[in-house]
Amino acid sequence: MTHAATAGPASLDRRTLSPEGLVTAGPQPRPIARPEQRPEPRGAANLRETYVPREAYIEAAWQRCRDLYHLDPDHPPPGEHIGGAALKLLREERGLFERVGRVEMHRLLGQINHQVTQSAAAARYVLMLADASGAILDAFTDNANTDSARTANMAPGFLWNERHAGVNGPGTCLHDRRARVVHREDHYFTRNSRMTCSAAPIWGANGTLLGVLDASSLDCDDSRAAQVPTIALVSMSARIIEQMHFTHSYRDCLILRFHERPELVGLPYDSLLAIDEHGTIRAVDSTVPAQLGKADHTALLGRSVAELFDITTDRLFEHAEAEPFAIWPIAHGADRHGFASIWPAKQARPRARTSLPGSTAHSSNGKSSVAARNIAKPHRPAFPSLANFAGTDPVMADNVWRAERVMNRDINILLLGETGTGKDSFARAIHRASERHAQPFIAMSCAAIPEQLIESELFGYEAGAFTGARTGGMRGKALAAHGGTLFLDEIGDMPLSIQARLLRLLEEKEIVPLGSSTPIPVDIRVISATHRDLEALVASNDFRMDLFYRLNGVALTMPPLRARTDRAALIEQICREEASSDITIAPDAQRDLLAHDWPGNLRELRNTMRTAIAFAEGGIIERAHLPRLHSQAAPPPTPPAAIAAIPPDERAHIVETLEQHHWRIAASAAALGISRNTLYRKMHRYGLMADGT
Ligand SMILES: Nc1ncnc2c1ncn2[C@@H]1O[C@H](COP(=O)(O)OP(=O)(O)OP(=O)(O)O)[C@@H](O)[C@H]1O
C-alpha cells in the first residue's frame, strides 16, 4: 500500500473532486506504481489521470443521445415507467440494495437540506436511487416538493438512463461509470435545463455495478461550482451504501478492512475483503484491486489471504477471535505497509429476522452459514441474543451487529435517536446480552436531575461534604455500577461544569467522591444516549470535544419508527404484548398505522395500541379505535437532533397537566404523550423544576 494509492477524508483521493465531475475509482484498472516509478507528489497523478474537462463527457453524452438514441432536445418522449408489477419484482430482487440505500438516503437528505438552507439560493433536492439499468427504486424529497418531483418523473419505476431521459445525472453517471455533475444546460432535454444533478455510482462486490445515487434540484440558480459540496456528500453516501451492502452480503465471512492510515480503518475510506473459513478471498470491494496493484477482482478471488498479505491464515483467525476490530499493521509485498482490522463473521441467527432477503451472499457465494459457524465458533457465552430485540430493520440489525462486537470490550457506546426510538431499552438489552449481565445496570438521566445534584448523584459524597448531605455520605451511581454498566441518558444535557470530572472517570477509571481526596477505582462500561446533536453542541462549545470522543467509541443511531422497514412486524409484536387475548387489526386500521408518521416513535405506538386494544370490541381493532391517527393530519416528524419548536402556550399546558396530576411526573408525561425525560427537559426549560432550576 503506497501513499497515493489510498484515500483520506480530506482529499477523497479515490474520488477526485472537480466541479466538472467527480471520478470514482470503481473497478477500473488503476494499477499502483511503486514509489520509485512515481515521483509526483501525492494527488498529482490522480488529478491528471482523472480530470475530465466538462465539455468532453457532456459532449460525448450529447453525441450519444443525438446519434445513437435519436432524441430531439425539444421533443422529449413521455417518461418511460417499467410498470407496477415489474417495479415490485425489481425491488424484491434488489431488496438489500434498496434497503441499505434507503437508510443512507434519509441521512443524506437531511445533510443536503441542511447545506442548502445555508446557501443563498435555497433549492429543493430530490434524492433518487436507481439500479444499474437506470430504473428508479426509491425517490425522496420533502413534502413540499413531492408533486413537482412526481411531475418530473422522479419517482420509483421511471427510467433515467440516457436512452430514455437524455443526458442527465443518473443516466450519464451509469454510462460513464463515474460520478458526474450534470448542470442546467448540460441536460439534453430543454425542459430539464434548470435542473442540476449530482450522481455517483454504487459498486457491489467483485466489480458489479449496483446502481447510482443522485441528488437533483429541479430549479437551480447556483453555479456549477456550487455543486461541489453536493457531489462530495452524494459520493460519500454512495461509498457508505457500498460498504453496508458488502458487509451485509458477506455477513458469513470474515471482513478484512485495510488502509494505509490506522485512523481510517473502519471508516468509509478503507478497503474491504470477504474471507471464508479456509482463508480464501471470496469477494473484494471496488477499491481493493487498485490498492493491491491488480487490474481487477479476478486476480484476487479464490486466492489465499496469506498469498497477498504478510499474515498466515491461522494468525488471521486468531485476530478474529481474540481481538476483533483491533487495528494492527499489515503489509502487502515488500514496500506496501498499512493497517488492518478484522470484523468477525456474523453469528448464524436463530430467526429469519436478521437474514436480509436480497443478500447475495447466500446465493452467490454458495457458502453461507456452515462457513460462518466454523469461523465464528469461538468461545461466546450463552447470553441472550440482542437480535431478539432488533427486529428485521437493516439499520437495527446493523446496530445489533456492532453492539455485539464492542459490548465486551473497553469501548463506550453512544446511542443516538429521536425520543421514543428505544435508546433506553436498547442500552438495557446490550447490558443483558453482555458478560456483565449479572452485575448492576445503573441508569441516570442527566436531564431529569437538577444541575447542582448531578455531581453528587454521579460521584457520591463523603459524610458532611456539604450542607444537606446525608449523614454517612452517599455512594454515587458510578460506584453503584462497579462491575456493570452505567447508562447516562440525555448526555447532551450534562452540564459543562461536570463534564471534566466525567472525562476523568472515563479516562482514569476512578472517582473521587465530593469532600474526599481519595480516588476509588471503578470498573464500568458506559453507554450514553441523547436525542440531541452532540457534534453541534461541541461546535457551540456546550459540550467538550474530548468527552464527546471518549463517549463515542461507537455511535449507534436508532432509526425513527417511520423509517423502519419492519413497522408492520413491530405493530403486531406490540399488539401481542399489550393484548391479553387474541386480537386482529382491520385492514384500514393497519393502513392508518403504517401511514402514520409516528413522531413519538415506539412509545407513541405502544400507547396507541394500548388505547386501541382497550376500545376494541370483539377482538378487532378498527379504524375508529385509532382516532388520533386519522382525525388529524400526521404531525411533521421531530427533527432527529433537536428539540422540536415549542408552541408558545406549551408552558401553560404543561403546568395545567402537572397540576391535574399533582405534579406526578410519570402520570403527567403519560397524559402529555411524551417521555418522562422529555417532560423533565421541558420543565427545566420553563423553570418548573421544584428547586427552581
Ligand atoms: N424493540 C422494541 N420493541 C417494542 N417496544 C419497544 C422497543 N424498544 C422500545 N420500546 C418501547 O418504546 C418505549 C420507549 O422506549 P425507550 O424509553 O427505550 O426510548 P428512548 O429512545 O430512550 O426514549 P427517550 O429519548 O424519550 O428517553 C418504551 O415504552 C418501550 O417499551
Tens of pLDDT, residues 108-127: 887 887 776 655 445 688 99
Name the band, by pLDDT with cuts 50, 70 and 90, for residue 238.
very high
How far is ligand 1, taken at its centre, from the CA of residue 643, in Å? 18
Report the atom number in ligand 1 closest to the C-alpha of 415: 21
Output the pLDDT for position 118: 59
Residue 143, by phi and psi: left (phi above 0), alpha (psi -120 to 50) or beta?
Answer: alpha
Tell me the CATH architecture of domain 52-247: 2-Layer Sandwich (3.30)
Closest residue (by CA) to atom 8 of ligand 1?
Answer: 422
Nearest CA to ligand 1 atom 13: 603
Q: What is the spatial distance between Cα 522 and Cα 525, in angstroms, rounded to a whole number? A: 10
Q: How far is the CA of 402 from the centre of ligand 1 (A)?
A: 19
- 617: alpha, beta or left, given left = phi > 0 and alpha = psi -120 to 50? beta
User: Regarding the domain delimited by 387-557, which CATH topology (the fold level of the hierarchy) does it fall under?
Assistant: Rossmann fold (3.40.50)
pLDDT band (50, 70, 90) for residue 560: very high
Report the C-alpha gap between 568 and 250 in whole angstroms.
27
CA–CA separation, 154 vs 542, rounded Å? 41
- The model's confidence at residue 548, banded by pLDDT at 50, 70 and 90, is very high
Separation of CA 424 and ligand 1 centre (Å): 6
pLDDT in tens, 394-447: 888 888 888 888 898 888 999 999 989 999 999 999 998 898 988 999 999 988
Q: 22-26, 265-269, 534-538: which has the minimum mean pLDDT? A: 22-26
Give percent helix, percent strand, percent coil of the chain, each to the nearest 5: 45, 15, 40
Check pLDDT > 60 for residue 71: yes
- Quick check: do 52-247 and 561-630 share a fold? no
Angle at 232 between CA 226 and CA 234, to 5 degrees: 110
Candidates 27, 28, 96, 408; CA nearest to 250 is 96
Enter the CATH code of domain 561-630.
1.10.8.60
d(CA 243, CA 222): 32
Atom of ligand 1 lying closest to residue 489 CA: 27
The reported pLDDT for the residue numbered 352 is 29
Q: pLDDT band at 19, cuts 50/70/90?
A: very low
Between the CA of 631 and the centroid of ligand 1 the distance, in Å, is 25
Angle between helices 451-459 and 496-508 (to 10 degrees): 10
Alpha carbons 343 and 251: distance in angstroms, whole number: 10
Q: Whose CA is nearest to atom 15 of ligand 1?
A: 422
Ligand 1 neighbours, Cβ below 6 Å, are: 389, 417, 419-425, 531, 574, 602-603, 606, 675, 677-678
Q: Nine-digit cell at 274?
A: 470477504
User: Residue 356's pLDDT is what?
Assistant: 26
Model pLDDT, residue 692: 37
Q: What does the alpha-carbon distance between residue 288 and residue 294 come to, in Å, rounded to a whole number?
A: 8
- Residue 524: predicted pLDDT: 94
CA 306 to CA 315: how far, in whole Å?
10
Q: Looking at ligand 1, which atom is closest to the CA of residue 391?
A: 1
Q: How far is the CA of 416 from the centre of ligand 1 (A)?
A: 13
CA of 282 to the centre of ligand 1 (A): 39
Q: Is residue 49 scored above 50 in pLDDT?
A: no
Residue 311 CB coordination number (10 Å): 21
Residues near 97 by Cβ (< 8 Å), separated by ≥ 6? Answer: 129, 131, 137, 202, 204, 210, 211, 241, 245, 358
> How close is the Cα of 568 to the center of ligand 1, in Å?
17
Helix (H) or strand (E) holding 147: helix 146-151
pLDDT digits (tens, 9 = 90+) for 447-494: 888 877 888 889 988 766 555 555 566 888 999 999 999 999 999 999
Asked if 335 and 34 touch (Cβ cutoff 8 Å), the reply is yes
Band (pLDDT 50/70/90 cuts) for residue 544 is: very high
Cβ neighbourhood burial of 382 (10 Å; 0-12, 13-18, 19+): exposed
Give Cα separations from 203 to 230, 235, 560 (angstroms).
19, 11, 28
Q: 594: closest CA among 557, 560, 566, 574?
A: 566
Is residue 359 predicted with pLDDT exceeding 70? no
Residue 266, Ramachandran bin (φ over 0: left; ψ between -120 and 50: alpha; else beta): left
Does residue 204 or residue 53 have the better pLDDT?
204
Predicted ipTM beyond 0.95: yes
List the residue whose alpha carbon is closest to atom 9 of ligand 1.
Answer: 422
From 602, 604, 609, give the residue whose CB has the most ligand 1 atoms within 8 Å, as the site to mutate. 602
Å from CA of 426 to ligand 1 middle: 8
| Residue minimizing CA distance to atom 29 of ligand 1 | 603
**Residue 347 pLDDT grade (very low, low, confident, very high; cuts 50, 70, 90):** very low
Maximum pairwise Cα distance, the chain: 90
Q: Are 380 and 85 in contact (CB under 8 A)?
A: no
Q: Is the pLDDT of residue 306 over 50?
A: yes
List the residue whose alpha carbon is closest to atom 26 of ligand 1.
419
Q: What is the pLDDT of residue 543?
A: 92
| DSSP sequence for 212-258 | EEEEEESS--S-SGGGHHHHHHHHHHHHHHHHHHHHHHTTTSEEEEE
CB 389 within 8 A of CB 563: no
Q: Which is higher by pLDDT, 122 or 518?
A: 518
Model pLDDT, residue 194: 92
What letter would DSSP give residue 68? I
Residue bearing the CA closest to ligand 1, atom 25:
419
C-alpha of residue 523 to centroid of ligand 1, in Å: 27
| Digit-coded pLDDT (tens) for 154-176 | 999 999 999 999 999 999 999 99
Q: How far is the CA of 675 from the centre of ligand 1 (A)?
A: 9
State which ligand 1 atom lies nearest to the alpha carbon of 558: 21
Alpha-carbon radius of gyration of the chain: 27
* Protein residue whose Cα sits closest to atom 5 of ligand 1: 602
Is 559 in contact with 400 (CB distance < 8 Å)?
Answer: no
Distance CA 227, CA 172 (A): 16
What is the Å distance from ligand 1's center to 104 Cα? 23
Locate the domains of the chain by residue range.
52-247, 387-557, 561-630, 650-685
Ligand 1 atom nearest to 674, measured from its CA: 26
603, 604, 611: residue to mutate for ligand 1 pocket, most atoms within 8 A of CB: 603
Task: Work out the angle at residue 411's Cα, subtended by the Cα atoms of residues 409 and 415, and round it to the nearest 5 degrees.
Answer: 125
pLDDT class of 656 with cuts at 50, 70, 90: confident
What pLDDT does 691 receive?
Answer: 45
Looking at residue 599, its pLDDT comes to 87
Residues 6+ apart with CB under 8 A from 279: 304, 305, 306, 313, 316, 317
Determine the pLDDT at residue 119: 56
Å from CA of 583 to ligand 1 middle: 22
H-helix or E-strand spanning residue 140: strand 136-140
**CA–CA distance, 495 with 499 (Å, rounded to integer):** 7
Task: Tell the burial category of 84 from Cβ atoms under 10 Å away from its Cβ (0-12, 13-18, 19+).
Answer: exposed
Ligand 1: distance of its center to the CA of 571 in Å? 13
Atom of ligand 1 nearest to the CA of 428: 18
